[in-house]
Amino acid sequence: MPTTYRILIGCGLITAVALISDRSRTMAGILGTAPINIPIILWIIWSKSTSDYTDIELTSRSMLLGIASTACFIAVCWYGFGRRWPFALTMGAGYLAWAIVAFGPTLVRRLVERG
């Protein structure tokens, strides 16, 4: 799929979520976390592989860590907005939590192996 189409589809989905959020915040939240990029990424990896599902399996497993870190990002945002933190502070704290969960275990393991 050409990049232009992916961009247009992404813009269309974001617009749809914005319009739906006027009617239902719950539905906007659910649609905002829909797995839009996952099938595209897996398809690209599958099309580049030699009919071996190992690459797709490893990528899928890595996506689980991505989902966990994204859940932490959302939880921190929920907490921050509930406490009326400024928007930038909430986003920064959310991204910090995301990075710690996504990259922290690997960094700690590397430090332990060196030490």
pLDDT at 6: 67
pLDDT at 3: 63
Per-residue pLDDT of the chain (115 residues; tens, 9 = 90+): 566 776 787 788 778 777 877 788 787 777 777 777 788 778 777 777 776 788 888 888 888 888 999 999 999 999 999 999 999 999 999 999 999 999 998 899 999 998 7
Both structure tokens of 15: 């617009």
64: number of Cβ within 10 Å: 9
What whole-number distance in Å separates Cα of residue 79 and Cα of residue 76? 5
pTM: 0.70
Instruction: Burial-class residue 98 by CB neighbours within 10 Å (0-12, 13-18, 19+).
Output: buried
What whole-number distance in Å separates Cα of residue 12 and Cα of residue 33? 15
